[in-house]
A and B are shown apart, each in its own frame.
Chain A
């Protein structure tokens, strides 16, 4: 559930911090993007259903504006990132306010930084590298399983809790970075973030370990292990593609996510690959559900112009197109379900602060084939 008024609280805190932070000051930045999308959707209907014509759509889209306040007092740092957005699967054109991040961090040492608040979880590479500033990323949108929860992502992208990270030099061989997070559990649905109240007593735990070898500066090789609980609930869902409404019982489950990532974003070369395996186990001896997801994007910069290719895949357990994992079945991600997407595009960084992108993607899911043409003007000031 998005907050409509609560962002005022962190804003007040930020302004109070701004008043105190005479030495280093507080600065405000703004991020946003304007898009134009054109798509063609072919429904894959079961045998016996009358054939349907393709669905064409074209639209301008301005669905996300971010303001970010940052301040520091010596080793103490504050980040308050507030987003006004229209979530992809909200069924509405109205803007909602979301406190995307509110982090208070203290740099104890090179090998220890402590953080508390609401932050983007240290899962994989994309999630805490690009945040909601689409100007910085290569693609028009975030890759499949790393999308934000309300936009069809699978990972717990936001976390409310505490975080520790640090970095150690390993002599001439490189450096090791660790991240540990203890945070509220998943909400009753994927997109319901437990901002104020965790429905479970147990907390989720996320570990990330990265190796940065010195033989190739900029290369990052990392892995994640996440475990936590999923509260039981009953959810009513509506699939806008098939117009089917259903009530799904989500039993209490345990969740384990294992991930790996490889990234090299340095000089002219841009390469990111991520993989994640999700295991949902129904408590009390119920079935296990396995979901696999991965993507890669690769680009090469010629000056300020970067052509790129991308591949994005999610495989969920399904029978006749029906997602079996009840937690993902009721999520925005479940509407799309298993998918394979291929695409290519070009990003042109016109000046410092403005990037233009055009992209074409062809995606295939259990129920539809989608051809999507996107263009984006993304800014960061």
Chain B
């Protein structure tokens, strides 16, 4: 009985963590042919180390403000740091001249619209967002 209960709890735990991992996705402009990135590549792109997509498009971060669920997910699940620490890091890289200032967006619709408008844009939106033509998902390896 105890063993069954443990297995059930483990299964429920795994399902919950899988749901959390799929909660948000990385999106790109569809003209950008790069369909997948490693998490390390994404971290480098969002902090100015990687300046171009493998396709050659100039990288441009599109981010929501502090407190937005997408930024929380990005900082905790991709970078493993607090939101303040991530924003400070990004601000410092802009200050250094190593990355272009992120384009700010308020709400997922605006983020998606910015990604559609900027060929090298990268943004985070919830997995349930409907992506219009001109915007595609980036698979994280």
Contact = CB atoms under 8 A, between A and B. Distances in A.
Interface of A: 24, 27, 29, 31, 68, 70, 72, 74-75, 77, 79, 101, 103, 105, 107, 109-110, 113, 128-129, 131, 133, 136, 167, 175, 212, 214, 217, 267, 301, 303-304, 349, 351-352, 380
A70 B84 CA distance: 22
Nearest to A137: B92
Nearest to B103: A24
B72 interface: no
Is the contact region of chain A dominated by helix, strand, or loop, or is it mixed? strand
Contacts of A267: 80-81
Interface string B13-29: 00000000000000000
A380 B58 CA distance: 27
Nearest to A27: B101
Contact of A217 (B43, B58, B82, B100): B43
A110 B82 contact: no
Contact of A105 (B52, B58, B81, B97): B97
B105 interface: no
Interface of B: 40, 43, 49-52, 56, 58, 66, 80-82, 84-85, 87-88, 91-92, 94-97, 100-101
A20 B37 CA distance: 34
A214 B52 contact: no
6 contacts: A29-B95, A101-B97, A110-B51, A131-B95, A136-B95, A267-B81
A70 B52 contact: no
B95 A352 contact: no
B100 to A, nearest CB: 5
B96 A128 contact: yes
Given A167-B49, A380-B95, A72 B43 contact: no
B101 A70 contact: yes
A131 B52 contact: no
A349 B91 CA distance: 14
Contacts of A70: 94, 97, 101
A113 B50 CA distance: 12
A121 B94 CA distance: 17
B136 to A, nearest CB: 22
Contacts of B85: 301, 304, 349
Nearest to A355: B88
A117 B96 CA distance: 15
